[in-house]
Chains A and B, each alone.
Chain A
Amino acid sequence: MPLKKVEFTKEKVTLPDGRYLLYYNFNSIPQSHIPAPTQSDQTNEAKEKANV
């Protein structure tokens, strides 16, 4: 699944005729939108793996 993290907020408003309405607002970060690792990130990761 391409999701890294999903959070939502819920905002309740009252419509003119008295009914409620809920806005669900999402803060989702699709993995495809997460920047690909840079060369220095990869180097750091390699170093960590090598326990350098």
Chain B
Amino acid sequence: MSELRWHPFLEEWVITATHRQDRTFLPPKDYCPLCPTKPGGFPTEVPRDYYDIVVFENKFSSLSSNPPQPAVPETTISPVKAARGICEVVLYASEHSMTLATMPLTRIRNLLLVWQDRFRELGSIDYIKYVLIFENKGEAVGVTLSHPHGQIYAFPFIPPKIEKELSASAIYFKQNSKCLFCASLEEEYRDGRRIVFEGERFVAFIPFFARYPYEVYLAPKKHQASLNDFSPEDLDDLALTLKGLLVKYDSLFKFSFPYIMAIHQTPTDGKDYPDYHFHFEFYPPLRTKSKVKFLAGCESGAGNFINDTLAEEKAAELRNVGPKNIREVLALG
């Protein structure tokens, strides 16, 4: 069963997708459904025995281009709709044990092209209003398959967090004739202590208002709104900056660092959003090498984050490990 149920208090849609309870959970490495199908081996999601990068419709999709009718009627306060949309899985590599951080730069650059292509293609569908590209990495954030992969949700509406950012950006722009994110970048450069890694065109930093200890924003230095805006040279530098940050994450505690990564960009609803600024958001669940930052009473109950750390100190920790500049990232290959 799958449908959209309206949350009248938060004024946002909740997706119910009961079939996802049956999805594959941490299979042994030899039975990974995202590896290529080996000759004579068990059939995986990918019929061929090798691939560069693969995208497919999620088997356990929360949203579907041809969704079933809702299994429940709407109530007097909660409309119900079919869960229309598209959910895709993006396989970064044939090799099971790779991660985005350990991939060669060329492959990361190729992945950026795939993301750009998916954003354009899914965003051109008339009922798709927002394309969310994201990755969940590590068991600490609930990953059920360890093969290197990310996901794309093409929504029939603008998700609430994005709506909030769009609204704040529009209000700030109206009052200041300036992009809110650009103003935030100016503040970060003025202070300097929270900048973690810098390419020529992109920069990674822990925002002044970080909610998670190792939360990082990665954004273009100049005002750009979506993957559509990036030139080949932009993508080159984005690959370098992204790898630089991810290698730093892995260097921090000397193990593969878990995180949730989400790309925030303009909606695809046909409207213009000149005041919105493209960026990645990383929400790592760890607050120390062995302790997890839980979303407990205050966060879950009130929506207010309590950060037990100082962004300035955590940024210094990240700055002091791994590659220091793009030349050192290039040397990693």
Interface residues of A (CB under 8 A from B): 1-3, 6, 8, 10, 13, 15, 17, 19-26, 28, 30, 32
Using Cβ atoms and an 8 Å threshold, which residues of chain A touch B53?
24, 26
Using Cβ atoms and an 8 Å threshold, which residues of chain B touch A28?
106, 109-110
Residue of A nearest to B114 (CB): A24
Interchain residue pairs with CB less than 8 A apart (26)? A1-B240, A2-B330, A3-B105, A6-B232, A8-B52, A8-B110, A8-B117, A13-B47, A15-B45, A19-B57, A19-B59, A20-B56, A21-B47, A21-B55, A21-B57, A22-B55, A22-B56, A23-B51, A24-B52, A24-B53, A24-B54, A24-B110, A24-B114, A25-B52, A28-B109, A32-B333
> Does B51 lie within 8 Å of A30, measured CB to CB?
no
> Measured between alpha carbons, how far is A30 from B105 in the docked complex, in Å?
10
A2-B330, A10-B117 known; A15 vs B56 contact (CB < 8 Å): yes
- Known pairs A1-B330, A3-B109, A21-B47 / 13 extra A-B pairs, C-beta < 8 Å: A2-B105, A3-B105, A6-B106, A15-B47, A19-B57, A20-B56, A21-B46, A21-B55, A23-B51, A24-B53, A24-B110, A25-B52, A26-B110
Residue of A nearest to B61 (CB): A19
Q: Does chain A have a CB within 8 A of B237?
A: yes
Distance to closest chain B CB from A32 (angstroms): 8
Say whether chain A's binding surface is mostly helix, strand, loop, or mixed: strand
Distance to closest chain B CB from A37 (angstroms): 20
> Measured between alpha carbons, how far is A6 from B57 in the docked complex, in Å?
25
